[in-house]
Amino acid sequence: MATSTEVGKKAPSGGKRFIGGVVEGFYGRPWTMDQRTELFKREQKWGLNTYLYAPKDDYKHRMYWRDLYSVEEAEQLVALISAAQQHNIDFVYAISPGLDITFSNCKEVAALKRKLDQVRDFGCNSFSLLFDDIETEMCPADKQAFSSFAHAQVAITNEVFQHLGEPNTFLFCPTDYCAAFCTPNVSQSSYLHTVGDELLPGIDVLWTGPKVVSHKISVESIEEVSSILKRAPVIWDNIHANDYDPQRIFMGPYKDRPTELIPRLRGVLTNPNCEYYPNFVAIHTLATWCKASADGATKDVEMEQDPCYSPHKALMLALTDWLEEFLSTDQPTACVKKDSSDEEPMQTDLGEHSYVPGPGENPLYTAEPLTLDDLKLLSDLFYLPYEYGRTAKTMLHELNWLKSHSHAVAVKSDQTAEWCSRAQQFDDMCEAVVRMFNRLSNAPNRSILYDLYNYICDIKSGVNLAQAYVKSLGGLGKPSAQLMSADPEPWGFRGGLSGEFQRMLPGHGNRDLYKHPPKTSVYCIRPYCAEDKMDVQRIFIKMQQERQIEEASMTEPPLISDILSTGEIPPSPQCALVLEDDIGPCGYMLALTDAKAAAASIQKDTSGRVLEDFPSLITGQVLLRVTDPSPVKGMIGQLLSSIRSCGSRGVFCMLRHSDRRMLDFYTKSSSFQPIKMGGLPPDVIAMGTSL
């Protein structure tokens, strides 16, 4: 791919350039200094401009953030920052003090400033404060000094930003860094509102999208969060991250982010796979995406014939370039260094053999060269977190069909010829995977191979088992001992202890293209009776203890929903349900069809207008052992139907912010939305739905 101009000369906010690049922000072994230096060269060549240094396993970035760098460490960072600057890459140093910082302690703030001053002396001009993946409970000292966790974070961030002279690039990562973390939602998150209102305008905010690993990021979702943050966010994109699953790696293109996002963003940073070399596709395709303008046009001369960003075309451009690197034996970072054991050897001694086999002897093994089709297949097999590539989907579809129609080869029928033809096609696809494995294994650049080897070895083994199984179905081979044996070799089963745990959980296989779910618990939803009162109380108290709700917050003032759960007031007739599993009662849903009287005696400040629109109350809890949302959704649906039949026009519920589980059930399984209701404690939210 031809070298092109730097992406995003200007961003929509403040005339600053669009941030495009890479964040090294994963959990696991950090990249080496040589790999980072090579990354800077690639970024410059492909038109990216930023590198965010945030490896979670750099102790002095996160766990020991107060400690200054040693002389040896300082020399490495100085060299790294200098290398970035030589390639016109903005080196952003990130520090993550949130694990144990006391925000109200001036000595802690001074330690943070001292650490960043040291890095500034190294030549770094761009910084980031990260408060991701930390506990949200403040210590007693901070509770006295700050009204909320967000206020504490914003105060220290603003102070550090000003101490550093308000650098041109200063990034803030909130604790609620995706929509899924916002309570109750993005638009009504008090945390995000505080960040938007109080964070100084020169500070940019990192955001991962709807989820930690977002399948899609829409224009509407970015416009929503931008309006709350009062600035365009920088996307920290985890679409290619694999630090959460050591069995997966992602080599599909950057996709499901429309180019219309570009003028609505401050920038995009990809947080890719832990393994450095397989990130070629992730970074290359992001660079192509970044160079697309808002109307889909691109500044890349190689894309002029097609003005739209095409993930497939971007992928093929990346794979074409990557093939050259696979076949190269003279790359600077791949050469053998006599004084370094970290460098991988290159296969450079591929000369002609002196041995010539005689008549009737085995011919010499000849390694076939890696092809572009091999890399396309590799990408298809290891595509993206929510999606298989085309070939992978086809193989799964064909195996499922062949297995479901195996009767066609047991007794000849109209489908027998079709089955045999499709079995042969499946066998050809399996052979292509084996050829790809062999060619990759013999590619000259061993550094790339070693990052990939565990993954391609695993997929080859799985494909071989499937291939043998289909052959045995068609009578073309003996039944595989690995498939039929009650005591197979270790390579005949997958997952280890972690895999066994997952297969026992209700959610296992939810993302599988062809679901073969394990046995799940059988739940019974039945009407509530007087004898259930003690069980309902027990479940209610148990869930309060699980969330560590103090008794004082339960009584000052009391909630109608709490009193209904404790049995002080009874539910309305035909408006109470109990959930049972094979152990016993594990959940309940109760309702008052007319909550006005209870509200008048308990929540005296409750708005009368709210009760006109939502006269009925619903409340419920389920024990933690209920992991399947379906029975909860069923109880809510049944209860709403009963309340509607009583003539009610609307239902409301009261929940504490700490009850994220029930909040999720109401918002994701039903149509409840936040409503304004007076007289509620600050940790309580009211939600309602019209009937």
Q: Which residues are catalytic?
A: 133
Give the burial class of 157: count Cβ atoms within 10 A of its Cβ; 0-12 exposed, 13-18 middle, 19 or more buried: buried
Residue 548, token pair as written in the block:
């560590």
Backbone angles phi, psi at 223, to 5 degrees: -65, -35
Region for 174 from its dihedrals, namely left if φ exceeds 0, alpha if ψ lies in -120 to 50, beta otherwise: beta
The conformation of residue 332, written as its DSSP 8-state character, comes to G
Nearest C-alpha neighbor of 470 from the set 412, 403, 425, 394: 403
Whether 594 and 616 have beta carbons less than 8 Å apart is answered as yes
Q: Which residues are within 8 A (CB) of 656 and not within 5 positions of it... i.e. 6 or more apart?
A: 547, 549, 553, 683, 684, 685
d(Cα 92, Cα 175) in Å, to the nearest integer?
Answer: 19
Coil vs helix vs strand at 211: coil
Q: In Å, what is the CA distance from 74 to each residue of 115, 120, 122, 194, 445? A: 12, 11, 7, 36, 31
Q: How many helices and strands in the chain, by DSSP H and E?
A: 23, 15
Beta bridge partners of residue 268, listed in sequence order: 20, 235
Coil vs helix vs strand at 59: coil
Residue that is written with structure tokens 């696979």 in the block: 326
Whether 235 and 217 have beta carbons less than 8 Å apart is answered as yes
Residue 354, token pair as written in the block:
């002196």
d(Cα 445, Cα 46) in Å, to the nearest integer?
Answer: 21
d(Cα 345, Cα 324) in Å, to the nearest integer?
Answer: 17
Residue 177, token pair as written in the block:
């860094």
d(Cα 47, Cα 238) in Å, to the nearest integer?
Answer: 20
